[in-house]
Chain A
């Protein structure tokens, strides 16, 4: 346990977990509700729209939306709830053993990998954007970033020199990520918006 005053990153982590987890949970919940509605209305005729930002319904009918054989948002319902709980526990003064932090690290990395796969699929395979899904992308990446930095600062990650240097520019990295993904979205859907 460190005695030095905690950095801004470590101090922010509980709030990031509660808000990021909370927003992710909300998005996953809304996606689940919409998926259930879609299931109830089987006779619905899909349409193709010039506007790529479409109701999540058409994205949800794709194979990618149920990668493991059940709708993806169900994973979100469970996982984001855990993040909120961990954040709240930290705010309440909880201390965790290292193995707990490793577990959290593994979870958020898996989430971030999954989310980037979904971003790729959404942009280049499905060719449509769904607003709630994009909220999940952002929430997952932000949480993963801060959990990773906090773990690095606590000395729980090997060879974390680079991470510690990046920690000083923690929001810069997130801004760059957002600009990069936003740029890919603009580039991919340019013709839709210009037509």
Chain B
């Protein structure tokens, strides 16, 4: 199928609703897409539990990874007009873009929080370990796989390449904003990506943007800001996420305590015992997790059963806004009341904070903290974006912290038992919200 120069005899295209077409010309990329580790991404949703809020958000990490590859391919094509580019570096860039999420597991944000796993570590292990992906990459040379892993891990010596895939404005973010907006059906994630790519200029450490393209970059920043609050940080999605992580905690606790599961979670055993191999990890996907959750709806353990039923049937926890400085005054009483009515507060009274979210929005930050977006001024100097843009400056300094307290309101409103305690709990929770 391939030619001596590593190009496919005939270009392959994937039809894509965001970028119209995804073009594959390199044999390397085509073969990577065909590996079992990459195909597994079809069974992992890009937005985890967001589908319970926005029913269209069923797109997967497979779609997104192809999208990031396509954005990177276009970036490289544009940059090649402005700088000399080593063919080998071009392939490292494209492979890194395609594989940047290869280490994500099912509902990976919750899994990482509960089990301390890190999808970036798994990405490196899958790229450099005994896998089909590694076998394909190794054909390009002995250090090729290592270089791809270094780009994704942001430790590659060519910082320009790193910044194209991981910075404040990169191929990854550009694809997921457009893609997530498309699949959730919201209208505010859109921006003019073509314009941004056209005004992108390579520098030693990062790509910068011509001042004339500032408004396109502003639009991207606004999209990121709006998607953060309207989609990524939606309180209903967070409720599903809270319940999901509690299920995982409960299942692990039961397993460690020798609980006799009706449906033994054999696929999670090495995860629970922290002896997870690449082979075990690759077998984990969302179909498998949801299979167990469905089975656990009939478990004897009342907490696991209840949480799984809630998750599977979208019978989620409600929430009140939470101010930690006031919360601390009522927290001991709330916990005691929950115990009194037979609800374990570590499963039924949960604070979720904005810092728990794996998304952020732009702010310039402190010198040497992380690289801000720079504009290329007409005199050749660089200027940080918020110093030129009133719009970006206005949202950079805005409050973006938020805490919510999640609880099972349905159980508290059923006052056939412990009516007095439940009324007191509801009073405390609502006083918190109203204060």
A interacts with B: no
Q: What residues make up the interface of A, taking CB atoms closer than 8 Å to B?
A: none
